[in-house]
Amino acid sequence: MNHRRTGPITSPHLPLGDRRDAPFYGRDILEVAQFRRSDLQYVFGVAREMREMVARVGSFDLLKGKILANLFYEPSTRTASSFFAAMERLGGSVIPISEVRYSSVSKGESLPDTVRTLECYADVIVLRHPEVGAAKMAARYARKPIINAGDGIGEHPTQALLDLFTIFEETGQVDGLTITMLGDLKYGRTVHSLARLLSLFDVRLNFVSPDVLPFPTSILNELDQRDVPWEAHSDLEAVLPQTDVLYVTRVQKERFEDPTQYAAVKDAYVITPDTLSRARPRMALMHPLPRVGEISMKVDSDPRAAYFRQMENGLYVRMALLAMVLGKA
């Protein structure tokens, strides 16, 4: 959000009736580095209230009259539909632009101009884009808050928030846990954001990937600066017995230039009931989804399979974020 053009967050230009003291009111959500532990507790508290509200009454007019522009330049099922549902359940409305080929983007319109257009009609813009840094760039031009819904292989902050919320809900705490991230750690933006967010806690991290898909050194350096103990492996069995949360990722086919390289690593790890027989009895098995073979469907009925609960949590966390950014929580 361009504060030069809107003034500080106490600006009289911000809509009347909004809670100006609400954390994150009028702010962009671009990367997980914006969140401190106290912010996380706040977001998760609001998310729990949203879950109760959805269970009790389904929807509630907290954001009545507000409009969200849902701008997706990359495919999405969960992120796009959960932001859509979040806005609708809070009584707001949505301008969905996922078919960018039907918008002026296909005529060559730039991201800044697209954002400057949508902010005339909407109060908040959710943006997914294939380029790292696209959300930050959009935020420099926008007067309204931008929420990063994934910028290429960069960050996916709202996913990391719902992932961390799920870890809390599944295990009861985060401090003291050993969390293993598995799969495409090079291109998987969800693990980039989640590892950074977890560095606020007293955790041990394991990174298990094929040699050609390692976790980025730049983020490992950030973990070192925060004294987060981590290990890198290519064999899951080396760390599985000590793992409290196993976070599996998809090999990101769309990021490979050479299809034979993708084919060589796509089935590097497959979680089956046999794998789980060697895991902790209370381990939480997570995945941001979509899965394309990394977790056998035979695992779905195991109580440790948390990925469907995880994706449901996305709705409550995104309801909380929208309410906060729009000054109603």
Residues that bind ligand ASP (CB under 6 A): 150, 156, 189-190, 250, 288
Q: Are 73 and 101 in contact (CB under 8 A)?
A: no
**Which is closer to ligand ASP, CB of 166 or CB of 190?**
190
- Minimum distance from residue 161 beta carbon to ligand ASP (Å): 14
- Minimum distance from residue 307 beta carbon to ligand ASP (Å): 11
Phi, psi of 12 (to 5 degrees): -65, -10
**Which is closer to ligand ASP, CB of 23 or CB of 210?**
210
Q: Are 301 and 275 in contact (CB under 8 A)?
A: no
Residue 5: alpha-carbon gap to chain centroid: 28
Tokens of 265: 């690593």
- Minimum distance from residue 195 beta carbon to ligand ASP (Å): 14
Which segments of the chain are extended strands (E)? 67-72, 93-97, 124-129, 146-151, 178-182, 204-208, 230-233, 245-248, 284-286
Q: What b-and-e string marks burial along 166-196, b requiring 16 or more CB atoms within 10 Å of the CB?
A: bbbbbbeebeebbbbbbbbbbbbbbbbbbbb
**Cα–Cα distance measured from residue 147 to residue 22, given in angstroms and rounded to the nearest whole number:** 17
**Which is closer to ligand ASP, CB of 26 or CB of 76?**
76
**Which is closer to ligand ASP, CB of 69 or CB of 160?**
160
Q: Are 193 and 249 in contact (CB under 8 A)?
A: no
Tokens of 271: 């979680």
**Which is closer to ligand ASP, CB of 248 or CB of 329?**
248
**Which is closer to ligand ASP, CB of 141 or CB of 310?**
310
- Minimum distance from residue 140 beta carbon to ligand ASP (Å): 23
**Which is closer to ligand ASP, CB of 15 or CB of 290?**
290
**Cα–Cα distance measured from residue 290 to residue 273, given in angstroms and rounded to the nearest whole number:** 19
**Which is closer to ligand ASP, CB of 255 or CB of 280?**
255
Q: Are 312 and 163 in contact (CB under 8 A)?
A: no
- Minimum distance from residue 156 beta carbon to ligand ASP (Å): 5
- Minimum distance from residue 241 beta carbon to ligand ASP (Å): 26
**Which is closer to ligand ASP, CB of 314 or CB of 327?**
314
- Minimum distance from residue 252 beta carbon to ligand ASP (Å): 6
Q: Hey, what amino acid is at 106?
A: S
- Minimum distance from residue 184 beta carbon to ligand ASP (Å): 8
- Minimum distance from residue 198 beta carbon to ligand ASP (Å): 17
**Cα–Cα distance measured from residue 293 to residue 287, given in angstroms and rounded to the nearest whole number:** 12
Find out whether the peptide bond into 290 is cis, omega within 30 degrees of 0.
yes
- Burial (CB count <10 Å: 0-12, 13-18, 19+), residue 136: middle
